[in-house]
Amino acid sequence: MAPIKVVLDDFSKNPSCQHGPTVLLQRTNGNGDLQDQFYACTASRDGKCSLEVQKPPTAENIISNRRTYIKSSNPVDTKEPTRHLTPLSFDDRNYQVLCIGAPRLHEHLLQKTSIDSLLLDIDDRFHDFYSNRHFIHYNMFNHFFFRGKCDEEIFERYLKHVEPSSRQVLPTFWIFPYFMETYIRQEMPSMEMADYQVNYTNHEKYREGSKAIKNGSPVRMFTNVPLGMIRLPTEEGYKYCQKCDKSGLKNNSHCSICKACTSKTGAPYKHCSKCHICVKTNYVHCGKCGRCAQVEGHNCQQYKRMVSCRICLGRGHVEKGCSFWKRYGISRMFQPAKAGNYYRVAQSYLFVNPNSNVEVRGAICEGMNATCNLNLETMQSIFFPQNCSEIFMDVKFLGKPYNCDDFFERFDTEMGPCFVANSIYSK
């Protein structure tokens, strides 16, 4: 399947359907060349959305028959709607969306605590159970409020009352599959993936006990809360790693070389000395591809076209063949276009210098965010090539917070050439 890119431009310029503005999708080949582009509905993946423009529904026509949705007409049932709403016909068309809380969590907060909660979800049946104060019909994928300004104003008023001040970064929890980690960290470097496996009640594949998932649910929790603050329950198969200072799955062993618990899938990983990273145990290193891959069904030509480089994040080549690295070295990685570039810098540091310890790994990744205010004393412990350390120590920004752009400019001119010359790809 050809890679597909989502173009995140101004949605208001795109054609709309009943689910709000569409998104522009671009299909590319293995070299990144554009093959095709088209607009697609953000809510329907089955191609059955008509893409016809419809007027946003008003409060008057949201009245529906509750008995069609719930299994019992007992008034008590209306307090816990998610336990009685049957799944909608297209499971992949109506994902439950979280802004403040997921439906089940939202339900719990309103019934069992004094915490105020506002649910944003694409399932409009919740209008039958919650007032506008507690529910807004919303499409997360295109930030579309189905009732327009009315609901958008309710949402804005709610945000103004959230504590602490909106000028601070609020604790955030996202639920996504682990294979989305690269994309999430590229756009939001402050988000880290916890090992906690999330099960769905009504999902065909991702529910607890499903035979479709060998190593448990692939769905994980992403958060900007330090993972050391989150203790996962040992009775559910989690352990605490003192070296990483975080909880993880029992099968997620600590690698003494990577100095981290490296498993993503829930299954054990092994370290590959040629790739300089840990990989799945059923992978073997392929000399032709220059990367570990599956033994069965492995087509070198196809794999080379689809593989992603860990330095430039481009497709179609591995790190040793990265022209971006060989041509420009580290200098092109310091362009301050957006925070995602800083994350790429951190990833490159850690990959070309596999001896970096977990404290350094955490310090770098934590610093590669939108504000990028670090203290160079934290950065001093980076294990750069031995003959580069003196140059690094000569950078005179010690003892005070600094701007990443200033540091990278100085670093690029004074240490960049040395770093490139002594990397594992220069040998």
HEC letters along 312-351: CCCECCCHHHCHHHHHHCCHHHHCCCCHHHHHHHHHHHHH
138/122 Cα distance (integer angstroms)? 5
Long-range pairs for 195-201 at CB < 8 Å and ≥24 separation?
195/220, 195/232, 195/238, 195/246, 195/247, 195/248, 195/249, 195/252, 195/261, 195/266, 196/220, 196/221, 196/230, 196/232, 196/238, 196/247, 197/249, 197/266, 201/82, 201/104
The order of strands in the sheet holding 34-40 is 4-7, 23-28, 34-40
Q: What is the pLDDT, as a whole number, of residue 206?
A: 62
392: region left, alpha or beta (phi > 0 left; psi from -120 to 50 alpha): alpha
Contacts of 153 (CB under 8 A, 6+ apart): none
Q: Do the bridges between strand 283-286 and strand 23-28 make them parallel or antiparallel, or are there none, so unpaired?
A: unpaired
Contacts of 419 (CB under 8 A, 6+ apart): 329, 330, 384, 385, 388
- For residue 304, name the pLDDT band (cuts at 50, 70, 90): confident
pLDDT at 1 over 80: no
Task: Give the C-alpha distances (Å, rounded to integers) separating 59 from 116, 127, 139, 149.
Answer: 23, 10, 17, 12
- For residue 45, name the pLDDT band (cuts at 50, 70, 90): low
pLDDT at 281 over 60: yes
pLDDT at 158 over 60: yes
Least confident segment among 37-41, 84-88, 334-338: 334-338
The pLDDT tens digits of the residues spanning 310-369 come to 666 667 777 666 665 555 444 333 333 333 344 444 444 444 444 444 444 444 444 433
- For residue 30, name the pLDDT band (cuts at 50, 70, 90): low
The pLDDT tens digits of the residues spanning 165-204 come to 444 556 788 888 998 887 787 777 788 899 999 887 666 6
Residue 161: CA count within 13 A, CB half-sphere:
12
- What number of other Cβ atoms are within 10 A of residue 333's Cβ? 22
* CA angle, residues 352, 356, 358, in degrees to nearest 5: 135
- What number of other Cβ atoms are within 10 A of residue 89's Cβ? 8
Contacts of 246 (CB under 8 A, 6+ apart): 194, 195, 227, 228, 230, 240, 261
